[in-house]
Amino acid sequence: MAGYEKMAPGVFRIRQEVRKGWVPFAMNLYALPGTDGLLFDAGSGTKGAVAHVARCLKDLERETGSRVRQILPSHAHWDHFSGASALADKRPMRVLLTEAMVPLVRTRACYRAAYREGTSALRPRAGALNEACRALGGRLIDEAFSLSMGIRAVTGPFSPLAVGDHLATDAGTWEVLAGPGHCDAHIMLWNAETGILLGGDNVLSHITTWLGPPRSDLIAYQKTLETIRELPGLRLILPAHGRPVTDPVKRTTQLIAHRKKRLTEIREKVEAAGPRGLTGRSLVRHYYPRMAPLKRSIAQGWIEATLLYLLQEGDVARTAEKGLWRYHPL
């Protein structure tokens, strides 16, 4: 059985699953064969995951008589770039990166630093000893998570790519569009002839996109959703996770409304708390009362991003109390 499926003429989806990892994980990579052809997103870097993709590409090249020779991550999150260098080692492929991605993905240390540095909206920095213990704990969790999920930096050579570039494939020409918000270094591929968008993580059919500090931006995300909704002739979004979005304008409109609603909710909750204010942690408990801690630490990202946004906008103030931030209306 082929490990890939045809989503549209010249557009193939390779599904990748990491079954033994910490969290169940499934990813869609899109192969666009052509004279030079490309793979949009590289997925996990575990041995099994990379071998599966390499096998699919070989079969696909045989079936189509075309080639897939470039690898382009949609953004600088581990599940999108980790397989890139390993694939380029295994097959005649080269990695493409935008300027914004480069400083985030070249080493594991810079990736970790780019997402971890002192950005909690729930608690202020503690004393040096406490911070050092936390950092060590975080590092150990991070190492174990990385090993089981196959997080790997893009260490090999790469070619630069920029927003506005065009990539030729058997399915026509794809334009590189900027799509910041979920991650600042996020791009999408748009095919104006067929109305198909390879949207990365920006519009998913089954869940709302993760947002959280330090690299998500609520306003940039809203703008990206509006840009997507206005693409002339948009007919299908192929996302990096989950099912295709077959009603893209409707789904994008839903997501825009959802984010606006959440922003209003948080603003009103802080308002209603009065001068005493409330902690970010109480908001997390309100939205996710029964969720397991690890899952909750991921789910709460949008609450943190929203509080930081309101703070930056001058809508709320905050004070430190008993090792937590309290947010107050102004």
Q: Does 77 bind Zn ion (CB under 5 A)?
A: yes
**Smaller CB separation from Zn ion, 148 or 194:** 148
As measured in angstroms, the least distance from the Cβ of 23 to Zn ion is 14
Cα 198 to Cα 143, 175, 186, 238: the distances in Å are: 31, 10, 12, 5
Q: Does 262 bind Zn ion (CB under 5 A)?
A: no
Beta carbons of 215 and 101 less than 8 angstroms apart: no
**Smaller CB separation from Zn ion, 201 or 304:** 201
Position of tokens 């991650």? 183
CA 304/CA 330 separation, integer angstroms: 18
CA 235/CA 247 separation, integer angstroms: 7
Phi, psi dihedrals of residue 84, rounded to the nearest 5°? -60, -55
The piece of 5-13, 14-22, 73-81, 172-180 that touches Zn ion (CB under 5 A) is: 73-81
Nearest CA-CA partner of 241 in 210, 209, 204: 204
Residue number closest to Zn ion, CB atom: 77
As measured in angstroms, the least distance from the Cβ of 135 to Zn ion is 24
Number of residues that bind Zn ion (CB under 5 A): 2
**Smaller CB separation from Zn ion, 52 or 77:** 77
Residue 151 class from Cβ within 10 Å (0-12 exposed, 13-18 middle, 19+ buried)?
buried
As measured in angstroms, the least distance from the Cβ of 256 to Zn ion is 19
**Smaller CB separation from Zn ion, 201 or 217:** 201
Q: Does 41 bind Zn ion (CB under 5 A)?
A: no
Q: Which of residues 189-208 bind Zn ion (CB under 5 A)?
A: 201
The piece of 35-43, 69-77, 187-195, 217-225 that touches Zn ion (CB under 5 A) is: 69-77
Position of tokens 């033994």? 20
**Smaller CB separation from Zn ion, 43 or 172:** 43
CA 85/CA 130 separation, integer angstroms: 37
As measured in angstroms, the least distance from the Cβ of 201 to Zn ion is 4
Q: Does 184 bind Zn ion (CB under 5 A)?
A: no
**Smaller CB separation from Zn ion, 184 or 201:** 201
**In which element (H, E) is residue 25 found?**
strand 25-32
Residues that bind Zn ion (CB under 5 A): 77, 201
